[in-house]
A and B are shown apart, each in its own frame.
Chain A
C-alpha cells in the first residue's frame, strides 16, 4: 500500500495488559501475533493491514505515565500517533471481566484523543466469559454515559467483530464524540467514575475473581506452591524427551525413505553424492529434531495460556531476588528455553532496569531449542536407554533434565555475579519501579490454538535455521568432497583444515571432525548437527546411512568426549542473532561482548574439565 499520510488510515489497539489486544489484532489482520495469558506479552508495536486500514497492536499500558520499558515504548508511539493526521481511530480494548480497571485507561485517554479530534472506540473484549446470573454488559448505557462507541466483542469467538469493523469503516460519517460527557481530571475522580460506570452497566459480581482465588490457594500456597512449581517444570522437560520420541522416529524414517528414493533417481556422480551427503544427511539430521522443538513450544504455549506463569512470577520473586533477578525475570528465562531472542525482548517488562540488564545477559545460558538437537544427538547416542524407578523415568530423560538444570544453575550463578558487579555502579543510578503483577484469570488452554501456535513457531524456526545450515553444509561438503570425492574424507581439504584445528579442541577430547563441527557452529549452534551429518554422509560414501549417533561412536568418539561436548554446547554462546539483539536491548556493545567472551571461555574450560573428570572416573 502506498498511501500518503492524509489518506492512510491507522487504527491503534491500546488497552491494559492482557486485555486481548493481540488476539484481536490477529483476528482483524490474519497475522499470527504472540498471544498469552500473562500481562506484558507484547513489548513492541506490530502493524498489519485489514481491509484498507492499518492496525497497530500496542504493548499493554495501565495509564499514560509509563513505569516499565514496554509501557514507555507504547506511550511514546501513542503520543506520536496522536499528533499524526493519518491516525483514524483508537480502539481501546477493555476486559469485560475486569471492567472497572479497564475503564480507567479509557477515561484517561479520551480527553487526550478528543483534544486532537481522534475518535475512540471502546471494544469491551472477553464477553464470551460473561456468563451466569451476574453477567451483564450494557454497551449502550456506557456509550451514552461516556460519549464514545462501546462495542461488546470477543476476540476468541469472533462475536461483535463485524460491528467493530463496520464502526471503524463508517467513523467519519458519525459525530465522533459527545462534548457533553466531560471526563474528570484527577486520578481519584476518574477511578470513582470507572467504579460508578461498572456498577451501573457492568457485571454485577466478580465471580471470576473468586474462582481464581480458589485455584490460587493451591498454586500460591506456602506449603504446596513450590512443589507444584517443580512438578510443572519437571513435566515440561520430561515431555520434550519422551513425548517427542514417536514423532522423531516418524521424521527420521521419512527423511531416510525420501533419501533412498531421491538417491535412486539420480545417476551416480557428484550430483548424487551432493544430494545424499549434504541435503539428506546434513539437513535431514537437523530435521529429525524438529519434533522436540515443536513439543517444547507446545508445552510452553499451554503454560502461557493457563495463567499459571504470572503465579510463578509471584512465587519466584523473592528466590530470584537472591540472584539479583526479579519475579518478572521468570517468563524471559522460561522462554529462553525456546529462543533467546524473544526472551530478551520479554525482559522489557521487568520493573528494575538493573535486574532487566542482568536478565538479558544471562538468558543465553538457558538451553534454547537450537541446542536441543545437539543434546538429543549426544544423549541418544551415548547414554544407555535404561529405565529407572520401574520404568517411570529413563536415564536418558534424566540426563536430559540434568542438562537443562545445568543451564538454569549457570544462569542463576552468572546473575549473582553480575548482581555483585553492577550493584555499586548502577544500584543507585537506575531507579526501580515497583514489582506489581496483575494475576490474570485461569483459563483452560485451547487445544487447537496452541497446536497451531506451536506449529507456526516451529515452522518459522526451521525456516530461519535451514538456509544457514544449508549454506554451511554446502561449504563443509565441498571441502570434504574434494579433491578425491566421496569416501575419501581423510584425504580431503576439510581433513587438512580439521587437523589444523584439532590441537585446540584436543584437551576436551574432540577429534578433528568434532572440531570442524564446533567451529562451523559459531555461526549458529544448530549447524553442528548438520555438519556432523554431512561428514557422516561423506564417510559412508553412499552406503545406507547409519544413524548419526552410532556413526559418531564408530568414528571413535567416547563417552568422555561426548559429555565434554554436551557441557560445551550447554554453555557456549554460539548465535550471532542473540548477540545483535542483546546489543539492541542493552544499548551497549559491552554486554554482548562480555557475554560472548565469558561464555565461550566457560564452555571451553567446562568441557576440558568434564573430559578429564569423566576420564578419571573410567569413561572412555
Chain B
C-alpha cells in the first residue's frame, strides 16, 4: 500500500542505483529515462499520457510538507505525484539538471 518507506532519499535500497524522480530536488530538471519494472503497466501508461515519458524534461517544482506528494511541471501542466510512484520513474544522465530554478 506504499505506507512504508516513503522517505526515499534516506533509503539504502535506492542509494547508489539509478536516480529516480523522487530523488530530484525541488528546482532541478531532469530527463526521464524509463520506468522501474515494478510499476503496474496501467499506471505507467497514465504517467506517459500525462507527459512523464522517455525523453521529456521534468522539473520538480516543490515538495509538500510531511514528506507528501511533490509537484512536477511537465508538458505545460503541474501535477502532484505521490513519492512511491515518483520513485518508479527513472531519470537519465544529468541534463540541464544543475539545480537551475525555473
Contact = CB atoms under 8 A, between A and B. Distances in A.
Contacts of A67: 42-43, 46
Interface in B73-102: 73, 75-82, 85
B78 A212 contact: yes
B43 A433 contact: yes
Contact of A436 (B2, B46, B54): B46
A317 B68 contact: yes
A72 to B, nearest CB: 12
B3 A321 contact: yes
Shortest Cβ-Cβ A-B pairs, 7 listed: A435-B82, A318-B68, A318-B66, A434-B85, A314-B80, A100-B76, A439-B78
B62 interface: yes
Given A432-B1, A436-B81, A209 B76 contact: yes
A12 B48 CA distance: 26
Given A63-B49, A187-B48, A439-B80, A314 B71 contact: yes
15 contacts: A62-B46, A98-B76, A104-B49, A191-B56, A216-B71, A217-B62, A314-B68, A317-B80, A318-B66, A318-B69, A319-B68, A321-B3, A434-B46, A435-B80, A437-B69
B17 to A, nearest CB: 21
Given A315-B68, A438-B80, 14 more contacts: A63-B49, A65-B45, A98-B77, A191-B53, A191-B75, A209-B78, A216-B61, A222-B64, A313-B80, A317-B64, A317-B82, A433-B42, A433-B43, A435-B81
B64 A436 contact: no
Nearest to B86: A434
A485 interface: no
A99 interface: yes
A217 B79 CA distance: 15
A86 interface: no
B67 interface: yes
Interface residues of B, number: 38
Interface string A50-76: 000000000000110101000000000
A423 B71 CA distance: 29
A224 B3 CA distance: 25
Contacts of B79: 436-439
Given A213-B61, A314-B64, A314-B68, A436 B75 contact: no
Contacts of A212: 78
B63 interface: yes
Contacts of B47: 434, 436
A206 interface: yes
A187 B53 contact: yes
Nearest to A98: B77
B65 A315 contact: yes
A274 to B, nearest CB: 58
A222 B63 contact: yes
The interface centre, meaning the residue of B50, B54, B68, B81 with most chain A CB atoms within 10 A of its CB, is B68
A327 B78 CA distance: 16
Interface of A: 62-63, 65, 67, 98-101, 104, 187-188, 191, 194-195, 198, 206, 209, 212-213, 216-217, 220-222, 225-226, 310, 313-319, 321, 327, 423, 427, 431-439
The interface centre, meaning the residue of B45, B71, B78 with most chain A CB atoms within 10 A of its CB, is B78
Contacts of A187: 45, 48-49, 53
Nearest to A186: B48
A436 B65 CA distance: 16
Nearest to A213: B61
A99 B100 CA distance: 25
A436 B50 contact: yes
B84 to A, nearest CB: 8
A357 to B, nearest CB: 14
B62 A436 contact: no
A220 B78 contact: no
A403 B25 CA distance: 41
Nearest to A355: B1
B50 A225 contact: no
A449 B80 CA distance: 28
A327 B79 CA distance: 14
A220 B64 contact: yes
Nearest to B74: A101
A329 B64 CA distance: 17
Interface string B11-49: 000000000000000000000000000001011011111
Nearest to B63: A222
The interface centre, meaning the residue of A212, A225, A423, A435 with most chain B CB atoms within 10 A of its CB, is A435
Given A314-B64, A321-B3, A432-B1, A101 B75 contact: yes
A63 B78 contact: no
B71 A439 contact: yes
Contact of B53 (A188, A310, A318, A432): A188
Nearest to A188: B53
Contacts of A316: 68
A101 B80 contact: no
B78 A213 contact: yes
B58 to A, nearest CB: 13
B48 A191 contact: yes
A315 B73 CA distance: 17
B75 to A, nearest CB: 5
